[in-house]
Amino acid sequence: EVEGGEQGEGGVGSLATAEGFSVGRAGDDARPLVSVKTTGVESPARSILAGSQAASPGKKAGGKAYKGAVVPDKAQAFEEYKETEGAQLAGVLKENQQALKEKKKAQRDLAVAINTYKKEIDALKDQLQSRREEQQADTTGEPVVDEEEFALVRTMKTKKQAYREAFDELKVLKSEVEYLTKLSEQSRAKLVMEYDTWYREVYEDEGDIGKAVQMLGQSSVGGDDDGEVMDDAEKFDRMEVERVMTEDPESLAYHNAAKNVFRKSTVGAHGKTKRVKGEAQPPQV
Q: What is the pLDDT of residues 52-71, one digit of tens each?
A: 444 444 444 444 444 445 77
127 and 216 housed in the same domain: no
- Any domain includes 280: no
Condensed to tens digits (0 to 9), the pLDDT of residues 139-196 reads 666 666 678 888 889 999 999 999 999 999 999 999 999 999 999 999 999 999 999 9
Condensed to tens digits (0 to 9), the pLDDT of residues 229-261 reads 556 666 666 667 666 666 666 666 665 666 665
131 and 174 housed in the same domain: yes
168 and 125 housed in the same domain: yes
210 and 134 housed in the same domain: no
Q: Give the pLDDT score at 180.
A: 96
- Of 87 and 231, the structure prediction assigns the larger pLDDT to 87
Condensed to tens digits (0 to 9), the pLDDT of residues 180-222 reads 999 999 999 999 999 999 998 888 765 444 444 454 444 444 4
**Domain hosting residue 214, numbered range:** 205-221+233-245
Q: pTM higher than 0.75, yes or no?
A: no
94 and 173 housed in the same domain: yes
114 and 216 housed in the same domain: no
175 and 123 housed in the same domain: yes
95 and 183 housed in the same domain: yes
- Any domain includes 40: no
- Of 46 and 78, the structure prediction assigns the larger pLDDT to 78
- Any domain includes 107: yes
168 and 213 housed in the same domain: no
Residues 6 or more apart whose CB falls under 8 angstroms from that of 213 comprise 242, 245, 246
191 and 134 housed in the same domain: yes
170 and 93 housed in the same domain: yes
- Any domain includes 156: yes
- Any domain includes 175: yes
Asked if residue 276 has pLDDT above 70, the reply is no
- Any domain includes 34: no
- Any domain includes 198: yes
- Any domain includes 110: yes
Q: Give the pLDDT score at 18.
A: 44
115 and 209 housed in the same domain: no
Please tell me the total count of domains within the chain.
Answer: 2
